[in-house]
Amino acid sequence: MRGLDFSSWQGLLSTLVGLAIITLIGVGIRLLVMQVVQQKREAANRQINERLKTLIAAYKTLGGSFTGDLSVDPIHLREIRRRASGLAQGQATPNAEGALLLPPIDGGEAGDRARRIRDAVEAALSDVILLGTEEQVRLAARAATDMVQGRPIHTAALVVSLRDFIRGVLDLDTIPASVAIPQQGPARPTSSGGGGKGGGKDKEGAAGGAGKGGGGGMGGMGAGVGMGAGLGYGAGRGGEEEMS
């Protein structure tokens, strides 16, 4: 207050200008601090949203089914090919009764479905190991280790951990203990409609080829007619000149 001068108009004006400058500096610093804090908060929210999105997708993949075979078959395509080559080379072991035991091979639709489930589960386990909590990472690492060693795995415990974590982050009510949720397993892939699309494309290609062939035939006919007319016209002119 000692620096304020209200004794004259010049002193009053300089005092007001000084107060305005100090106020603007304070407001600018406050806005800058608020902007930095808001940017950090937005970055944290984006990270949380991406983490939740990834973990929700992993939850849907690892726990998308309640019925059927809830285990994951870890067999790879190279293993199927190795067993197929073993069959081709006659590698078989006799059982107690003397019959030959051949290594099982499932390379049809069921085998392809099991491989697609395994690939989706592997990707989901990788995401959980990257973005999951300590408990989830431990469960996912154990499942991945069992899969590498060729043992069928179950994902029910990991699914329960993911469900509780996601509901806690979204501030949802806890599921009461009286609600009996059956064990969940990996989601079964849906059959793609590629056959119908491929058939439609084949039909369109056949129709297009027929149209092009018809067009080529018409073009050849037109060329033949033109050549015949030209030759006839030339012969007629030659006869007229000889007679003249």
Question: 86-131, pLDDT tens digit by residue?
Answer: 555 555 455 555 444 444 544 556 667 888 888 899 999 999 999 9
Please tell me whether residue 185 adopts helix, strand or coil conformation: strand
Give the chain's length. Answer: 244
Does pLDDT of 50 surpass 70? yes
Q: How confident is the model at residue 84 (pLDDT cuts 50, 70, 90)?
A: low
Mean pLDDT on 204-212 = 46
Structural contact between residues 162 and 137, judged by C-beta atoms closer than 8 angstroms: no
Q: Which amino acid, 77?
A: L
pLDDT at 145: 92
pLDDT of 56 higher than 60: yes
Quickly list DSSP for 64-112: -BSSS--EE----HHHHHHHHHHHHTT--EE-TTSPEEPPP---SHHHH
Checking if the pLDDT of 136 tops 60, the result is yes
Confidence (pLDDT) at 5 = 58
Side-chain-facing half-sphere of 103: CA atoms under 13 Å? 16
